Chains A and B, each alone.
Chain A
Amino acid sequence: MARVLVDVMLKPEILDPQGEAVANALPRLGVNGITSVRIGKRIELEFEGEPDLDQARAVADALLANPVIETFTVYVDDTAEAAETGEESPA
């Protein structure tokens, strides 16, 4: 499987009220050591054949992320391949 992952995060200087709301809820769980929570998105792109990272980057830049407020990283999903390999060689 040719899966490309795109992680989209708000730029550090952009307020993340969602993350703050989660951070503020943590003490209610008894968790006090976490100073900051930032929430982003992970987008999974399944390619028919070989993954085209340049194309994935173009899609991320034009649509998946808004570069005015967000950054993105594009990478091939190794874990899916590793999981498949693991299944193929159980013995």
Chain B
Amino acid sequence: MTARIGVVTFPGSLDDRDAQRAIRLAGAQPIALWHGDTALRGVDAVILPGGFSYGDYLRGGAIARFAPVMETLVDAAKGGLPVLGICNGFQILCESHLLPGALTRNAHLHFRRRSQRLRVENTTSAFTGHFDAGQEIVIPVKNGEGRFVADERTLDALEAEGRVVVRYVDGNPSGAMRDIAGISNAAGNVVGMMPHPEHAVEALTGPSVDGLGLFTSVIAHLGQTAVGAGSS
């Protein structure tokens, strides 16, 4: 059965269409979800896309966190639903306390847009099973507030528990602590990352097709959990 992967559109989302396209190219069915609607429409996984939800007013993700769809999504994520937050989606996951830490203004104050080399450090999350540990991939990064920060204790715990999913190599675009580009929750079903895998799924438009791996990984992950648990 084809996996159904939801993409939430908030007012100010920019990359929801690209995320839907990436899902389709990976072989799943994209399902449009709406910020003002609590229904998750029976999806098997959810992508929170990049952009500037609610204009990034107050702080990136701060107002999106209180969107009706997030009430349902937070519970579903705690129940094991795979959720990937990309860029603004990562900010929303941190603001929702599904992931620790926060994303702050880039240390150099500049908006950074470039093809970024990353190292996949965790291949057990719901979105990284198709990569090899230590594999280097190239995915676009584009943000002004992408600097991951957390207190030392949280950073040490993330490292010790293997929850740093992707790390910047060949230069840190934001000044993120410990070069962290993406992390997961303890269960591994919730992943947030600043770089945009949905922009690296076709040779014509991306610097690579490495981003596709995150989408095919979750589809494979859903296949396994469906066999194990009967249904998701």
Contacts and interface: CB of A to CB of B under 8 A. Distances in A.
Contacts, number: 34
Contacts of B62: 63, 66
Interface residues of B, number: 21
B101 A68 contact: yes
Interface stretch (B13-21, B72-80, B102-110, B115-123): B102-110
B104 A14 contact: yes
Given A63-B58, A63-B62, A69 B105 contact: no
B150 interface: yes
Q: Sort chain A's interface into a size bin.
A: 10 to 19
Contact of A63 (B66, B102, B105, B175): B66
A64 B151 CA distance: 20
Interface in A36-71: 63-64, 66, 68-69
A17 B102 contact: no
B95 interface: yes
Interface string B98-141: 00111011111100000000000000000000000000000000
A23 to B, nearest CB: 13
A68 B150 contact: yes
B58 A15 contact: no
A73 interface: no
A37 to B, nearest CB: 14
Contacts of A13: 151
Contacts of B158: none
A17 B95 contact: no
A15 B104 contact: yes
Contact of B149 (A14, A18, A64): A14
Contacts of A21: 109
Interface string A1-38: 00000000010011101100100000000000000000
A22 to B, nearest CB: 11
A69 B107 contact: no
A68 B107 CA distance: 18
Interface of A: 10, 13-15, 17-18, 21, 63-64, 66, 68-69
